[in-house]
Amino acid sequence: MAHPICIHCHEDILPQERAPIHGGPLHRECAIRIIVGSIGHQCKLCHCYGGEVEDPPGFTLREAARLAMDYHVEVEWRKWEKEEPHV
């Protein structure tokens, strides 16, 4: 049985890699990258901010999605955790 293909990176999705969202088959990291943006966008280096950086050169779409996801978790979530307690 063939695996579904991710609509972002066009790679096979194994059952444990699938994002639990509607709208098309996506890896978890690809889904998060679509929501939070590329590493360039998160660092304000993309065309939205007058720059030219989106994904690092030489990275596959999925590798860049993993980097964007990891950055978001490590940097943005840590900022949120340092704020006042959330109820």
Domain that holds residue 24: 15-82
- Return d(Cα 80, Cα 63) in angstroms, integer: 25
What separation in angstroms does the CA of 75 have from each of 3, 50, 80? 33, 22, 9
Structural domain includes residue 32: yes
Q: Tens digit of pLDDT per residue, the chain (87 long)?
A: 788 999 999 999 998 888 777 778 999 999 999 999 999 999 999 999 999 999 999 999 999 999 999 999 998 777 777 766 655
State pTM to two decimals: 0.81
Structural domain includes residue 46: yes
Structural domain includes residue 2: no
- Return d(Cα 11, Cα 44) in angstroms, integer: 28
Structural domain includes residue 3: no
Beta carbons within 10 angstroms of residue 50's beta carbon: 8
